[in-house]
Structure 1
């Protein structure tokens, strides 16, 4: 029995809150985009993978934040919806006409939102 309690104690110290988990995923997406941007000449295939991952993150984030049952205020829901539209448009634009500098806005948005989630 004490083994189970000990294992639970260790996991509870490592487990992330939902906000921390969202922040961690945003940072992971930003890190992937940054890696592509930093090694642009060698990232012809990596760019679409990094952008697709970022789009998946934003799809989940926007869906959860703007859902009718979300406790967020309507103004925050609207702002997240507008921000996600920008992220999706920038991602598609970057896939169509790849340029390293186009990733900067996506990286910055992810970092800023993650910092806000971490409080």
Structure 2
């Protein structure tokens, strides 16, 4: 019975989350995965590093695709900024894969956290 109640609550909470909050949560999840890889770099396998980077890259692919959709109501300047940031993230990720180093994760972690904080900020 408890399990059914927990599942019902989880489904309801997923429905009740705003798109902004969902995006912020996913960005924070990606940042946390990258932070864990950075903190455990010496014990992380290449597969684990690749998995965390792939998750982040897929998330940004979805964000960029969504924001650049012509039907997206955001102002063009914001759309262009997010698209440019996405291109930067993709290039930075490829550079990190070519020459892995834990400090290179700082940039991706920082960007994800900053964008998530901005999404969670209340408009004035």
**TM-score w.r.t. structure 1 length?**
0.88
Q: Which residue of 2 aligns with 1:3?
A: none
Alpha-carbon distance in structure 1 between the residues aligned to 2:99 and 2:14: 44
Instruction: State whether structure 2 residue 25 is matched by structure 1 residue 24.
Output: yes
Alpha-carbon distance in structure 1 between the residues aligned to 2:119 and 2:85: 15
Instruction: Give every structure 1 segment of 4 or more consecutive aligned residues whose post-TM-superposition deviation is greater than 3 Å.
Output: none
Unmatched tracts of structure 2, length 5 or more:
1-7
2:86 to 62, 84, 90: 84
Q: Which residue of 1 aligns with 2:12?
A: 11
When the two chains are superposed, the root-mean-square deviation of aligned CA atoms in Å is 1.8
> Residue 101 and residue 69 in structure 1: after superposition, are their counterparts in 2 closer, same or farther (change >3 A)?
same
Count of aligned pairs between the two proteins: 112
Unmatched tracts of structure 1, length 5 or more:
1-6
Q: Which residue of 1 aligns with 2:115?
A: 113
**TM-score w.r.t. structure 2 length?**
0.85
Per-residue deviation, 1:43:
1.1
